[in-house]
Structures are given as structure tokens and as C-alpha cells.
Amino acid sequence: MRIVIENVGKTFVDTKKHEVTALTNINFSIEEQEFVVLVGPSGCGKSTLLNIVGGLMSPTSGSVYFEGMAASDKKPSLGIVFQEIALFPWRTVYENVIFGLEEQGISKQEQQDKGKHYIDMVGLTGFENSYPKQLSGGMKQRAGIARALAIEPDLLLMDEPFSALDAQTRTLMQEELLTIWNRTKLSTLYVTHNIQEAVYLADRVIVLSRHPGQIKEIIHIDLPKIGRDKDEYRVQFEQYADQIWQLIRQDAQDALKEG
Ligand SMILES: Nc1ncnc2c1ncn2[C@@H]1O[C@H](COP(=O)(O)OP(=O)(O)OP(=O)(O)O)[C@@H](O)[C@H]1O
Ligand SMILES: [Mg+2]
């Protein structure tokens, strides 16, 4: 299934009744099994765009649609992972992971099998009965990812899922996400303002500029999906990172000044 984002724009009205154009004229698609990363400076509209694609917010103009889906089909399912994972504190890891499955009306046995499968995939086997408060930041994030994957969504949406983690945990989680992605091949839209992370994970990087948020460039990362951090790709990797940095540099500096 292909997700098409067509002429999307979003205007907010702030508390002083001023209009803020967060996004304008956004056009791109997410192909089947494609990993698309949105990068851009703070305030350029990344989260707004992700929320619109996920149907959590409606665009002021334009539309988002799932191509190849008949009107009679079930609604496309979405797995969403935010920066601050909202696990239910009163539910164990297992109960959190199967949350979306309970609503699918599948048998208890099937819920158990899937729950176990995805808990294993994110490396949380042995922690099924732990509560969120007993987990480290990285483990919570893994549980959140398992919950998003368990429903086997048509589209996976991730908004800076690792930005609250320390640098080492973050690197490990990026590696793990790639391994998981390689097994599931879910169409994914991933938001980050970390350029290295974008080059490491993406099939395509969409660079947004700010005021108003619009697409500055779409860069296809022509490197093997697994093993990009190997020495042999170092030069190309850095070239991509530099190309993206040059595109957002001025905007990022402006964002910094405005605070
Ligand atoms: N509910 C809202 N009401 C008014 N303005 C909003 C609202 N949500 C976002 N905005 C504005 O829209 C613009 C885009 O915000 P958004 O949160 O999408 O940016 P972002 O790229 O995700 O930023 P960050 O990198 O800091 O997470 C900003 O100028 C923001 O102030
Ligand atoms: Mg954001």
C-alpha cells in the first residue's frame, strides 16, 4: 500500500488570534516497504505533518490517502511511537503490548502468540510481567515499539522515538530498529532532527524548511540498508549528512535565535 500526501497545508490560529502557517504545499508519498525520514529544524512542522498523516489532526488543505485500498476495506491501521512513550502504568509490559490486539477481536491465544513474538523481537523477553516504572528509558521505548508493531500496522509512525535516551542507548536502539525493520519491512514515517540518524535509517530523507514548513529537498539514500556505518561507506555517509546539514543550516540557526 502506498500513502500519498497531496498538497497538505496546515494553519494554526495562536492564542493572540494570529495565523501561523505550519505547513504549506506538502507533496510526497511513502511507498510500500519504504522508510521515509522527515528532518528539519525545530518548529518546521515535523510533528504536525506526522500527526496529519496519522489522522490525529486534520489538514487545513490537501489530503492524505492510502492508495490501493478500496472504500470497503477496513481502515488502514497505524502504529504510533512518540518521543515520550505513553505506556499504561497500571499494565504490565505484556498487557501494554497486547493493548491494540484486544480491540482487534482476535482470540486470547493469538494475542498471546503475537505479544510474545513482538516482546521477543524488541529484546524484552523476561520482562513481560514488569510494570513501566520498573523499566529503564530504553526498555520503555522498546515496549512502546513492540506495542506499535504488535498490531502489524499498514504504516508505522515514529516521532523522535529515541531523543530522550542517552547517546549510547540511542545508538543501540537505532541498530535494533533497523534489525526489526528488516524483519517487518513496514512502511514507516520517522521524524528526527538528528541528521546522522536520518542517513542511517532512511530510504529517503525529506528535508523541511521553516516559516512556513515546506519541502526543501527529498534525498534518496543510495546505500545498503544494513551496514551503513561500516568503514567502506564512511565517505558517502558523511557526504549525505553534509548535504542535509547545508540544507538546514540557515534555518537551524534562525530557529536557535528565536528560541
Ligand atoms: N496546536 C497548535 N497551535 C498553534 N500553533 C501550533 C500548534 N502546534 C504547532 N504549532 C506551531 O506550528 C509550527 C510547527 O510545530 P511542530 O510541533 O509541528 O514542529 P516540529 O518540527 O515538530 O518541532 P520540534 O522539532 O521542536 O519538535 C510551530 O511554529 C508551532 O509553534
Ligand atoms: Mg516535533
Who contacts 121 (Cβ-Cβ below 8 Å, separation ≥6)?
Answer: 146, 149, 180, 183
Question: What is the structure's pLDDT at 258?
Answer: 78
With 70 as the cut, is the pLDDT of residue 72 above it? no
The answer to whether the CB of 10 is under 6 A from ligand 1 is: no
Please compute the mean of the pLDDT values over residues 170-177 and round it to a whole number: 89
Rounded to the nearest angstrom, the distance between the alpha carbon of 167 and the centre of ligand 1 is 25
222 CB under 6 A from ligand 1?
no
Count of CB atoms situated within 10 Å of the CB of 192: 24
Confidence of residue 76 (pLDDT cuts 50, 70, 90): confident
Q: Are 49 and 8 in contact (CB under 8 A)?
A: yes
How high is the pLDDT of residue 82? 87
pLDDT at 98 over 80: yes
pLDDT at position 113 over 80: yes
For residue 193 and ligand 1, the question of a CB distance below 6 A is answered with: yes
**pLDDT exceeds cutoff 80 at 259:** no
In sign, the C-alpha dihedral spanning 49, 53, 58, 62 is positive
Name which residue sits closest to atom 2 of ligand 1, judged by CA.
Answer: 12
Ligand closest to CA 39 = 1
Task: Give the ligand 1 atom nearest the CA of 15.
Answer: 4
Mean pLDDT calculated for residue range 27-40: 96
Closest ligand 1 atom to the C-alpha of 20? Answer: 5
- Average model confidence (pLDDT) across the chain: 92
Q: Whose CA is nearest to atom 29 of ligand 1?
A: 43
Which pLDDT score is estimated for 244? 97
pLDDT of residue 251: 82
Question: 42 CB under 6 A from ligand 1?
Answer: yes
Among protein residues, the one whose CA lies closest to atom 18 of ligand 1: 45
Q: Which atom of ligand 1 is least distant from the CA of 51?
A: 18
Q: Which atom of ligand 1 is nearest to the CA of 213?
A: 14
Give mean pLDDT, residues 56-69: 92
Cis status of the peptide bond prior to 212, with omega within 30 of 0: yes
| Mean pLDDT, rounded, for 142-168 | 91
Percentage of residues of the chain with pLDDT beyond 70: 98
**pLDDT of 70 higher than 80:** no
Instruction: Indicate whether 10 pLDDT > 80.
Output: yes
| C-alpha to C-alpha distance for 28 and 3, rounded to whole angstroms | 9
pTM for the predicted model, two decimal places: 0.93
Map out the domains of the chain with their CATH numbers. Answer: 1-17+29-54+159-259 (3.40.50), 77-153 (no CATH)
Tell whether the model's pLDDT for residue 48 goes beyond 90. yes
